[in-house]
Amino acid sequence: MKLTFLGTGTSFGVPQLGCSCAVCQSRDPRDQRTRVGAAVETDGGAVLLIDTPPELRLQLVRAGISRVDAVLYTHGHADHTHGIDDLRAITARRNAHLPMYGAAETLDELARKFVYIFDDSIRPLPGTTKPQGRAVPMIPGVATRIADVDVTAVPVPHGHVTVFAYRIGPLAYVTDAKAVPDSAVALLRGARVLVINALFREPHPSHLSLPEALRAARAIGAERTYLTHLTHDNFHADLEAELPAGVAPAFDGLTITV
């Protein structure tokens, strides 16, 4: 299985608009972070997207990804969904609906915001196309076979919202969580690679801080942990140098084998 980090930044992205801090002006390309999302290529060659961030087209072009077999949505916030229209180029070539998985509430929210994608009665004019999505609600804690891999949705809190983390075979992917409760740890434990959000060093009302993320990582016990949803609070190189063995900051475009 191959994991590509399409974006590793927060909802602001890095550099942040209007910010002149040292990180936002850094020449290290690893300090330039688009909104968070990922792509998983299974052993059978299927490509699963995790979220559709606003820079999705640019992210997929950079990663050389031109085919997608399914999308897994973590939640409905704009920084995780508003690149959904970029899937038009994918579904036009498929000439078929693209299955989109997530919580029923998230999929309902997407259907309200992007009604043209999910409503087959809205037809594009002859000679034009539109994205075609098919909503597939997932039951938390129950494995769903997607292509050739079992995927389990794992609920975690994110402020007033519940987010789906995902266990995809040997991979655990947790973004925008404020905490990782024991029920989630039980479903994620045994993963070989963990991806987890780490916003600031100090506590935040809806995201894990760096110390909280490291504690959650120890509880889950993956061989390797990658931090994502990172802000302009840290230079990549400095953060990498201070993290414990087995933990590293991810960066846009990083590809790893799970």
Q: What is the DSSP string of 110-168?
A: HHHHTHHHH-TTS-PPTT-----EEEEE--TTS-EEETTEEEEEEEEEETTEEEEEEEE
119: which residues sit within 8 A by CB, 6+ positions away? 111
What pLDDT score was predicted for residue 125?
92
Q: What is the pLDDT of residues 177-192, one digit of tens each?
A: 999 999 999 999 999 9
Query: Which sequence spans correspond to the domains of the chain?
Result: 2-257
Question: Hey, what amino acid is at 112?
Answer: R
Structure-block tokens of residue 162: 């519940």
Structure-block tokens of residue 19: 């910010």
Instruction: Report d(CA 99, CA 91) in Å as an integer.
Output: 10
- Say if residue 94's pLDDT is above 90: no
Structure-block tokens of residue 258: 């799970």
Locate tokens 């000679």: which residue? 127
Name the DSSP class of 230.
B
What pLDDT score was predicted for residue 59?
98
Average pLDDT over residues 131-147: 97
Instruction: Report d(CA 194, CA 203) in Å as an integer.
Output: 21
The CATH label, of 3.60.15.10, 3.90.76.10, 3.30.470.20, 3.40.190.10, for the domain at 2-257 is 3.60.15.10
> In this structure, is the dihedral angle defined by the CA atoms of residues 53, 157, 232 and 3, taken in order, positive or negative?
negative
Average pLDDT over residues 216-225: 98
Residue 22's φ and ψ, nearest 5 degrees, are -65, -35
Instruction: Report d(CA 117, CA 130) in Å as an integer.
Output: 7
Least confident of 77-81, 93-97, 132-136, 247-251: 93-97
**Beta-bridge mates of residue 50:** 38, 72
CA-closest candidate to residue 168, choices 30, 74, 81, 27:
74
Structure-block tokens of residue 225: 């942990």
Q: What is the pTM of this model?
A: 0.97
